[in-house]
Amino acid sequence: MKKFDIPAYYRSSVTGKIKELRRIKDLRKQDFTPTVLDFGPVKFYIARHFGFCYGVENAIEISYRALEENAGKRVFLLSQMIHNQEVNNDLQGRGIKFIMDTDGRQFISWDQIHQDDVVIIPAFGTTVEIEQLLLDKGVEVQKYNTTCPFVEKVWNRADKLGKENYTVIIHGKPKHEETRATFSHSAQGAPAVIVRDIEEAKRLGEYITHDKSQEEFFEEFAWKHSEGFDPHRDLQRVGVVNQTTMLATETQAIADYFRQLMLLKYGAENLKEHFADTRDTLCYATNDNQDATYQLLETDADLAIVVGGYNSSNTSHIVELCERKFPTYFINSDREIKSASEIHHFNYDRKEKIVTRDFLPAKTPVKIVLTSGASCPDTLVDRVMLRVLEYFPGSRSVEEVLAKL
């Protein structure tokens, strides 16, 4: 796989070494068991796969190159390049300005963007409408387009569905930049509708079975369907794609649900005429990170710490998986660990920061699962580990533990 030129301070001397050792021992990536770091009074279970993925490293390389190549010019990002505050803060500190936030609210009006400005398209991609707006202004959009190739793969799959006269059902978070971009591209050639989860998919299914009216559809799925969508006409032939960072198991459950619904309605002999078997359109990194997290659930750890941006979709799903077994603390950096008895962390369901005291159990060894999202620099994971180690005097040194791997 391509090696990217990203700033050295995003690289890691601890978890980076662990990743390289695991890569050498497992070139075909068939072993998803965690790496165990035994420091004596505390033991860490490090996920087999975590941290920066291909798409993120590609976006970082292009963004820093844009700054280097355009000294004296104004450089903009459409929105956060990736969902990590460390990376975005560093880019802003170097002069990049964000045109909008992650929900699409404008910080800088389009009237202020001119032909000579440099505009970087983030890893999530952007909508057809925004890309055309920039082209109409004479802004070069492809030179610094960091759209992840795995996102573009979903767009291509949706385009193929449209050409085969299927409606595109998108499993994603409606406000997420990637879902908005995928919806925009899908709607160019096909009717399109977004479902957030399996529960919403089942509500959409009620329009396939005609158990609900068109009027109810337009109220229930307002802003989640393409222009001119007719639920009774456009839900006769469907295929499912997804935001690439969703839970793989839920995407599969949604696809299986619509497949079974079409089977019951039209019969096995007509299934292919009404349901397109798209397979899974998740990116490889999301799959690897989720598979590695399932292996973490096989450990007997006391708690889990997941590091990443609070608006990161792929990180939130890792948190969701860890919460099935462990007390789980979702933090964006080591600064959220205030002391041995206090951690500030994010409740993703309620979208709020909370404080937990006595999060480290009074026992030895304390066993901690440690992982991160695909937009999190490995250096942040290092800092979290070193921060926790401060509370365990007498621990073995990092060098000693790594030497035994």
The amino acid sitting at 221 is: F
Catalytically annotated residue among 178, 200, 320, 336:
178
Is 152 an active-site residue? no
Whether residue 153 contacts residue 179, with contact meaning beta carbons closer than 8 Å, is answered with no
Q: Length of the chain in residues, anyone? A: 405
Active site residues: 178
